[in-house]
C-alpha cells in the first residue's frame, strides 16, 4: 500500500529578519504557490524552505553575528506563534527554513522548526554541526525525527550536517524514511554536497530532500534522491523556483527488503551470532543483534 508524501521545495532568496510584515508576505507567497500548483490532495503538502530563510545575515563575521543576535528569538517566541498560524491557516506541513534561536542558556542556535497542519510545532532541531568558523552557533546535542501520521517518519539535517555520515545513519536508525536537508550553501562545494546527498541515500536506503537557497543567498541546485540513490528531480541552476514531487515512502521498505539494485541489503546484513564490532572512536560498538532487530 502506497504512503504518499507530496512536497513543495522552495528554492528562494532568504528574507532579512522575519519581521511581522515579512511573515505576512511569506504566508501570501505560500498560499499563491499552493494555488498555482492546484492539485487537491487528500494528504496535506509538506512545504520546505532553505536554511536560515527567515533570518538572513551578511557582511563580516562580526556584522553577521550582530544581525543574528538582533533576529534571535526563543523557540516559543512571537515568530513561532506566527509560523504556527500559517501552517494551520493553510493546512500544510510547514518547514519554514531554520531560524536563529536564542536558547534559554543564552546561546544562539541554528534551529529548524516543523509545524503540522493543525499548527502544532512537532519538532525543533538544532544543527549539530555548524560550519565553523563562519557560523556563530552553538551545536545542538540531539538528532530529531517526527511522524507524519499514516505516512511515515521524517528526519532533519541542516546543511553541513550531511558531511558527517553519522547524522543520516542515526536518523535512519531512528526510523526515518526521508531526510529533509535544509541548506544555504553559497560556496563552490555545492557540487560535492549533491554527491553527498546521493551517497547518504545509498548508505541508508532513505529518501533525501536537499533544499538550497537561491542566488545570492545560495547556489541553488536543490534535488530529491530516492532510496537507491537515483536523482528524481533537480533544479538545474541557482535562480528562485519551486521543485515538486510526491514521494512514496513504501519505496524504503521495498529497497531494504530486496536490496539496492536488487542486491545490497545492509539493514539485513548481520546475524545475531556475528561478533560485536568495537568502535572506539565513539566509545561504543556495532552490535549485530541490535542491528538485525532494528531492521
User: What digits encode the pLDDT tens for the residues 176-211?
Assistant: 999 999 999 999 999 999 999 999 999 999 999 999
User: What digits encode the pLDDT tens for the residues 77-97?
Assistant: 999 999 999 999 999 999 999
Identify the residue with better confidence: 133 or 126: 126
The whole-chain average pLDDT of the chain stands at 92
Please report the DSSP string for 26-66 in residue order. Answer: HHHHHHHHHHHH----SSPPEEE--TTTTS---SSHHHHHH
Mean pLDDT of the region 105-124: 97
CATH number assigned to the domain with residue range 4-264, chosen from the 4 options 2.40.110.10, 3.60.110.10, 1.10.3720.10, 1.20.1250.20:
3.60.110.10
As a whole number of Å, the end-to-end CA separation of the chain is 19
Query: Which range has the worst mean pLDDT, 81-90, 225-234, 254-263, 283-292?
Result: 283-292
Cβ(114)–Cβ(108) below 8 Å:
no
Give me the residue label for grid cell 543483534.
289
How far is residue 255's CA from residue 271's CA, in Å, rounded to a whole number?
Answer: 19
Residue 108 is predicted with a pLDDT of: 96
Per-residue pLDDT band for 294 (boundaries 50, 70, 90) equals very low
Q: Where are the domains of the chain?
A: 4-264, 265-295
Tell me how far CA of residue 274 lies from CA of 114, 239, 271, 278, 289, in angstroms: 40, 51, 5, 12, 8
Predicted TM-score (pTM) of the model is 0.93
Amino acid at each position: 500500500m502506497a504512503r504518499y508524501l507530496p512536497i513543495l521545495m522552495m528554492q528562494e532568496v532568504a528574507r532579512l529578519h522575519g519581521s511581522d510584515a515579512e511573515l505576512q508576505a511569506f504566508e501570501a507567497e505560500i498560499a499563491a504557490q499552493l494555488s498555482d500548483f492546484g492539485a487537491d490532495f487528500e494528504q496535506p503538502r509538506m512545504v520546505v524552505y532553505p536554511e536560515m530563510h527567515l533570518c538572513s545575515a551578511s557582511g563580516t563575521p562580526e556584522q553577521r553575528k550582530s544581525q543574528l543576535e538582533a533576529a534571535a528569538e526563543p523557540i516559543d517566541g512571537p515568530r513561532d506563534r506566527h509560523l504556527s498560524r500559517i501552517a494551520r491557516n493553510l493546512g500544510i506541513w510547514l518547514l519554514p527554513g531554520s531560524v536563529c534561536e536564542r536558547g534559554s542558556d543564552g546561546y544562539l542556535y541554528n534551529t529548524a522548526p516543523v509545524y503540522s497542519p493543525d499548527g502544532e510545532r512537532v519538532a525543533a532541531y538544532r544543527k549539530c554541526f555548524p560550519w565553523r568558523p563562519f557560523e556563530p552557533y552553538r551545536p545542538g546535542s540531539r538528532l530529531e525525527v517526527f511522524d507524519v501520521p499514516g505516512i511515515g517518519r521524517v528526519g532533519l539535517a541542516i546543511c553541513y550536517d550531511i558531511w558527517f555520515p553519522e547524522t543520516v545513519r542515526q536518523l535512519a536508525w531512528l526510523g526515518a524514511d526521508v531526510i529533509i536537508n535544509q541548506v544555504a550553501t553559497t560556496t563552490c562545494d555545492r557540487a560535492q554536497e549533491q554527491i553527498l546527498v546521493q551517497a547518504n541515500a545509498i548508505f541508508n536506503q532513505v529518501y533525501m530532500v536537499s533544499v538550497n537557497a537561491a542566488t545570492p543567498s545560495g547556489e541553488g541546485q536543490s534535488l530529491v534522491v530516492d532510496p537507491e540513490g537515483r536523482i528524481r528531480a533537480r533544479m538545474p541552476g541557482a535562480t528562485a523556483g519551486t521543485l515538486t514531487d510526491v514521494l512514496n515512502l513504501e519505496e524504503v521498505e521495498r529497497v531494504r527488503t530486496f536490496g539496492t539494485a536488487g542486491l545490497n541489503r545492509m539493514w539485513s546484513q548481520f546475524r545475531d551470532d556475528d561478533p560485536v564490532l568495537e568502535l572506539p572512536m565513539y566509545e561504543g560498538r556495532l552490535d549485530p543483534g541490535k542491528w538485525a532487530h532494528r531492521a
